[in-house]
Structure 1
Amino acid sequence: MALKIRSKVALMALVGVSVFSCTEKKEQPEVTKSYVPKPLKVYSAGGVSVNAYDFNGLEHFLNKKNDTTYVVNFWATWCVPCVAELPHFEKLSEKYKEDKIKVLLVSLDMAKMVESKLLPFIKERQLKSDVVLLRDPDQNTWLPKVDSTWSGAIPATVIYNKDSRKFYERSFTYEELEKEVSNFK
């Protein structure tokens, strides 16, 4: 009797491993393609929400290898030139929403000010582009990972696609921004 039970257990284990292996092989590519890092925290208020990431989570958004051009702008609500150029990124995002151009606004606001400043700012300005919060105090580690030449000044923007990447530590007019993006098409 014990031998028969062990054989059934072994058979069940073998079948379980086979089913698991087949299932894993089928699901693996789908999980990889749609991977999005889990945020450290999600802030929500007034119908607006923002995902917060440390740099390890944000890095995913800076290194995608597909047929889309990404425009990643680093900014903060307290940065006057950043706020002045935000409408240009919004206009670019709206104009090219049917094309493979994606705008991501990375807020460098302090975490303690997200609910009192950032979320109301997003709602007030009716920002339509994706906004995430970079919550990683070790800028000496992550700044050179964004670009080795970045002093840390904002606004700063990375425009990239699978073939090319360029970093800008400056403000843009709409015309300048659109011209730079056109170089990536």
Structure 2
Amino acid sequence: MKYSTFITVCLLMVCLVQAQSVRKVKITELETVIKQSQRPLVINFWATYCKPCLEEMPGLVKAAEQYSKDSVQLILVSLDLEEDYPDKVNSFAKRFKVKGMLYWLDEYDADYFCPRVDSSWSGAIPASLFVNNKTGYRSFQERALTDSQVQLQIATMLAPARSQQ
């Protein structure tokens, strides 16, 4: 009995550690995740050295939890330097109790990856992309968002698609 309890606890700990570990992705992989998602997405581009990113993060995490019943999924994409991957990024995720998907973008040429996210993106962070493939909603925000702005973006993203004329 003690052995099975021990095994269960170990498996649970492994799952929790994996849930908070950062995964290395290329922009093409991220594009696929975005295009194929059946869930509304909040994709945030950030870095551990970016103070506005750190200030914005608690509101994003809280909103994702609040709208989890609506299947909203938070994807955090770190643009940290390679030497900060994965340790510094993982530490950050644990500190903010991140429950969403956590990626480190393995790209170095902003002129290549920024327009693949949004044609208007200059590369400044924080930046957030709100996408609902079911309704066709897409909104890119190249600035730090307040909690109320995040809430408004998500509410708009979840609204039924407007009829096309």
Q: TM-score, normalised by structure 1?
A: 0.71
Which residue of 31, 44, 63 maps to 1:92? 63
AA aligned to 1:50 is: V
Aligned to 1:169: 142
Aligned to 1:119: 90
AA aligned to 1:52 is: K
Contact 2:57 2:96 in 1 (8 A): no
AA aligned to 1:74 is: F
Which residue of 56, 75, 79 maps to 2:28? 56
Aligned to 1:136: 107
Distance between the aligned counterparts of 2:29 and 2:123, measured in 1?
A: 19
AA aligned to 1:131 is: L
Cα RMSD (Å): 1.8
Runs of at least 5 residues in structure 2 that lack an aligned partner in the other structure: 1-15, 159-165
Distance between the aligned counterparts of 1:65 and 1:50, measured in 2?
A: 19
Q: Structure 2 vs 1, CA of residues 99 and 141 (structure 1 numbering), >3 Å: closer, same or farther?
A: same
Q: Structure 2 vs 1, CA of residues 120 and 140 (structure 1 numbering), >3 Å: closer, same or farther?
A: same
Aligned to 1:146: 117
1:121 to partner: Cα distance: 1.5
Q: TM-score, normalised by structure 2?
A: 0.79
Structure 2 residue 82 is the aligned partner of structure 1 residue 108? no
Contact 2:40 2:132 in 1 (8 A): yes
Structure 2 counterparts to residues 29-44 of structure 1, below 5 A: none
Structure of greater relative contact order (alpha carbons < 8 Å, 6+ residues apart): 2
Contact 1:143 1:150 in 2 (8 A): yes
Runs of at least 5 residues in structure 1 that lack an aligned partner in the other structure: 1-45
Paired-residue identity, %: 34
Decide which structure has the larger Cα Rg and report it: 1
Contact 1:110 1:135 in 2 (8 A): no
